[in-house]
């Protein structure tokens, strides 16, 4: 059975707390597992979440601040130790290749050749996803060190109309041929097209945006996303700190979601300066700008994709 959800392995910002581990997000997508920003402790969090190294098919690092990458050595070693045989692609800023090298080979251990590196550079870059049922694009963001966000897109498909198919005498193997070829000749000799027997099924989209100020890249990544996973490190009262350190506030995250037509907004990367009783304010401030579905995540939460848009 296909699964599409986000497993939250950690949701803190620079400093982990008693209730929030360093970053770590596993997006499960029809048998693929995209592990974003594995921070310190991610390997143990995976055990608590009931996911394993064999679930990982991508490692995507947004930038090389420690809370977004210090878990890489453990993940790489676990992939090797568990004998993962499938290819695992690794995306990271090309400018930080030296840091990636240090992390990948941080200690002596049995190596693995399944990890294939795809360094990211330029303003935007489309990654090679092979025969995966999605595309993956990286877009430069605005942070004190070079940082990228990621956008996953499923191509549009079609939903067949059973009643129309029956009325035109298209059934059995002819339905598959119609989907593959775009037109078939029905038993009565009429040519039947795919367009008349189906409706467009919009592909789903996920945006992953970590440490950044507001910039063009944020809006480009978030546009029309079904699920937007975005940092909301600060509250309004600390907006000046957010701008200075290259971060977003919860209200800014809500503004991005509203402008982009996002369907589900996931707030994360919460600063250690705030207490548990402050958490409702993150949702309230995001909701002041965005009227859609808002989820302020905690470690080990699972966030499902919203229902598919109608064509």
- Would you please indicate which residues are annotated as catalytic (active-site) residues? 67
Return the DSSP state at 211: S
Residues 6+ apart with CB under 8 A from 167: none
Residues 6+ apart with CB under 8 A from 50: none
Q: CA gyration radius for the chain?
A: 21
- What separation in angstroms does the CA of 228 have from each of 100, 192, 239, 258, 295? 26, 39, 21, 11, 10
- What separation in angstroms does the CA of 267 have from each of 27, 121, 169, 247, 301? 15, 27, 50, 13, 12
Q: Report the alpha-carbon distance of residue 140 to residue 262 in Å, rounded.
A: 20
Q: Report the alpha-carbon distance of residue 192 to residue 183 in Å, rounded.
A: 6
Please provide the distance, in angstroms rounded to a whole number, between the alpha carbons at the two ends of the chain.
Answer: 23
Q: Tokens 């995976």: give the residue.
A: 46
The closest alpha carbon to 69, from 45, 35, 112, 118, belongs to: 35
Q: Report the alpha-carbon distance of residue 62 to residue 269 in Å, rounded.
A: 13
């Amino acid at each position: 059975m296909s699964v599409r959800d986000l497993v939250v392995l950690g949701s803190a910002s620079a400093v982990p707390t008693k209730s929030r581990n360093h970053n770590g997000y596993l997006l499960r997508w029809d048998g693929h597992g995209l592990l974003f920003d594995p921070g310190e402790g991610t390997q143990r969090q995976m055990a608590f979440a009931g996911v394993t190294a064999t679930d990982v098919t991508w490692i995507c690092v947004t930038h090389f601040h420690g809370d977004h990458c210090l878990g890489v050595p453990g993940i790489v070693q676990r992939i090797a130790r568990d004998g993962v045989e499938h290819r695992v692609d690794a995306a990271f800023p090309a400018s930080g290749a030296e840091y990636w090298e240090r992390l990948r080979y941080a200690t002596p251990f049995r190596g693995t050749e399944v990890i294939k590196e795809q360094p990211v550079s330029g303003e935007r870059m489309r990654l090679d996803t092979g025969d995966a049922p999605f595309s993956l694009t990286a877009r430069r963001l605005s942070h004190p060190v070079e940082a990228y966000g990621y956008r996953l897109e499923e191509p549009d498909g079609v939903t067949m109309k059973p009643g129309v198919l029956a009325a035109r005498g298209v059934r059995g193997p002819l339905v598959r041929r119609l989907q593959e070829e775009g037109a078939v000749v029905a038993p009565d000799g009429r040519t039947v097209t795919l367009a008349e027997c189906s409706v467009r099924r919009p592909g789903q989209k996920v945006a992953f945006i970590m440490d950044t100020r507001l910039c063009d890249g944020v809006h480009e990544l978030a546009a029309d996303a079904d699920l937007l996973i975005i940092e909301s490190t600060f509250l309004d009262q600390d907006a000046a700190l957010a701008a200075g350190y290259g971060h977003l506030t919860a209200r800014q995250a809500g503004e991005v979601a509203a402008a982009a037509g996002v369907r589900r907004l996931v707030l994360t990367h919460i600063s250690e300066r705030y207490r548990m009783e402050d958490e409702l304010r993150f949702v309230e401030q995001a909701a002041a700008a965005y009227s859609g579905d808002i989820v302020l995540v905690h470690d080990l939460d699972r966030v499902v994709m919203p229902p598919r848009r109608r064509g």
